[in-house]
């Protein structure tokens, strides 16, 4: 475990005041992922209208980096088209947070995977085949 001193001020801000926290009623897509390294879990919920992500929220049981990246990814996807959302990677989320300590980079993978899973689930619910970029191995 590493102390808060290693986190950027923006990461600490998102840990203390997470944005868009909580389960969503009637989401259009849910992404549930677990981190095989630490066992932490994240759930991401999205609303999609006319190909645009209009809302996002999350529930995360994890470390500070997992909470901060969840919080940041919900902020980043809102208002984006699905194609734009697919450009978001764990690195862009970490960069938007002013960086993460190298040992915490694995935590940011959860945010990218949860987003892709939520989009995959969105297509599944519509009975459509998800585009390849969405599938998480």
**Interface characters, 61-100, with ligand FES (x: CB under 6 A):** -xx-xx----------------------------------
CB of 60: closest distance to ligand FES in angstroms?
Answer: 8
The single residue of 37, 38, 83, 103 carrying the catalytic annotation is 38
**Interface characters, 37-56, with ligand FES (x: CB under 6 A):** xx-x----------------
Evaluate whether 53 touches 100 at the Cβ level (below 8 Å): no
Evaluate whether 49 touches 33 at the Cβ level (below 8 Å): no
Q: Is 38 a catalytic residue?
A: yes
Rounded (5°) CA angle 112-136-106: 45
Rounded (5°) CA angle 117-33-136: 45
Query: Of 71, 74, 58, 91, which is closest to residue 11 (Cα–Cα)?
Result: 71
Q: Which residues bind ligand FES (CB under 6 A)?
A: 1, 35, 37-38, 40, 62-63, 65-66, 107, 110
């Amino acid at each position: 475990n590493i102390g808060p001193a290693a986190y950027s001020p923006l990461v600490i801000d998102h840990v203390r005041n997470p944005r868009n926290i909580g389960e969503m009623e009637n989401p259009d897509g849910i992404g549930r992922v677990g981190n095989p390294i630490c066992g932490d879990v994240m759930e991401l919920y999205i609303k999609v209208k006319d190909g645009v992500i209009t809302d996002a929220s999350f529930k995360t049981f994890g470390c500070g980096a997992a909470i901060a990246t969840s919080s940041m990814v919900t902020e980043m996807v809102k208002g984006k088209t699905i194609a734009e959302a697919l450009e978001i990677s764990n690195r862009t989320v970490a960069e938007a947070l002013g960086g993460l300590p190298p040992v915490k980079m694995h935590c940011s993978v959860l945010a990218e995977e949860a987003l892709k899973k939520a989009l995959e689930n969105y297509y599944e619910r519509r009975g459509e085949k998800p585009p390849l970029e969405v599938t998480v191995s």
